[in-house]
Copies of this chain bind each other. A is one copy, B any other.
């Protein structure tokens, strides 16, 4: 982001014909948007592209989710038919949607070729007993995500969102956040799509065992993804890091997206300057990761649907921010008109 433009935007904000600070977080978001766009006033994002990374997770065979893994593939079909939550919101707010199978546990040919073009494997390893991926698979997934980000940017994206689809994916996300922040399973494990107290204790145990199994390898972000991640999460990390490298802003979603952002910041330091937080998730790990990244969510609606839905719901807030900084009168002009 441009520090010069950030200062210019902050000056413009202070010069609006409003009381100081009256736009609140809308003003802060506008200043960030100007800095990442490199011009002041900022433009309301108009070519927003959402990419959903889908994959299955070996831990779902071990009772960490309220849903069976077969739902992942069914939901990919829902992204394609337009009936998934993020698909509905993306249409409403004028964002493009693309879904990619990185590691769904389905037969070849289940999805259209363009959905499976970047597939790394069927399912990822159960992280409490084995690595999620091989080292080579992690690199392929990272490269796939980067390639997809580059494609979307080349096609004209001025704002990117990464969504997730994968039953069980809050478990590796919690493990990645715990490993990155150096905290315990008890602080990061949440109820995901809605498990009960007993299942929550079991899920925490799975995260705990995964962290113990991975040991010191988690110091390296790529090894961390190999040990604790998945194909879909590694791809999202590659996507986020490449978006930042190409200088295109990203709105983060819930705990999966923020876990990937946290790893992306380790993988490509400085990336998070290009990220805004779309919404606050009820998952405890998401708030911890956002705090570390220094990001405050735009929305706090208790959404826990995943898919990128919270980030898409936040698009109009960013558009409001940009429009306000661009079009609200400057105090100097108002007073000038009075004097004239």
Contact = CB atoms under 8 A, between A and B. Distances in A.
A24 B328 contact: no
Interface stretch (A104-112, A240-248, A296-304): A296-304
Nearest to A304: B22
A293 to B, nearest CB: 19
B305 A23 contact: yes
A323 B89 contact: yes
A175 to B, nearest CB: 21
Given A78-B334, A300-B300, A316-B316, A324 B85 contact: yes
A115 interface: no
Interface string A171-203: 000000000000000000000011000000000
A306 B298 CA distance: 19
A304 B92 contact: no
Given A24-B303, A302-B24, A316 B93 contact: yes
Stoichiometry, as copies per complex, reads 2
Interface stretch (A12-20, A121-129, A130-138, A255-263): A12-20
A260 to B, nearest CB: 20
A313 B320 contact: yes
A110 to B, nearest CB: 12
B304 A74 contact: no
B194 A324 contact: no
A88 B21 CA distance: 17
A66 interface: yes
Contact of A85 (B83, B89, B328): B328
Interface of A: 17-26, 44, 66-67, 74-75, 77-78, 81-85, 88-89, 91-93, 193-194, 282, 298-306, 313, 315-317, 319-320, 323-324, 327-329, 333-334, 337-338
Which 5 pairs from chain A and chain B are nearest by CB?
A24-B302, A83-B329, A316-B316, A19-B193, A22-B305
